[in-house]
Amino acid sequence: MQRYKDIQADSGIAAYEIGPGSIIIRFNRGGTYLYDGRAPGPTHVAEMQRLARAGVGLNTYINQHVRGHFAEKLD
């Protein structure tokens, strides 16, 4: 996994891993989740991938648009 840049130094996200049509996110408070085409869908996944690469806004986006809508909890 790649460490999340967290440009604003206020994110709840520790790391992420981008795959074809998916993103895995590890949160600072624990929990690693897979998001893909099943949930929350390709449009949200594409935006989450973009924000992860940018290092800003990913946690806010998840809180506002995705919440608990993930494909799998990995740990």
pTM of the complete model beyond 0.85: yes
Residues 51 and 69: their CA atoms lie apart, in Å, by 17
Instruction: Return the domain boundaries, the chain.
Output: 2-73
**pLDDT (tens digit per residue) in 25-75:** 999 999 999 999 999 999 999 999 999 999 999 999 999 999 999 999 998
A 10 A CB-CB count for 51 gives: 20
Residue 40 contacts residue 70 (beta carbons within 8 Å): yes
How confident is the model over 4-37, as pLDDT tens digits? Answer: 998 877 889 999 999 999 999 999 999 999 999 9
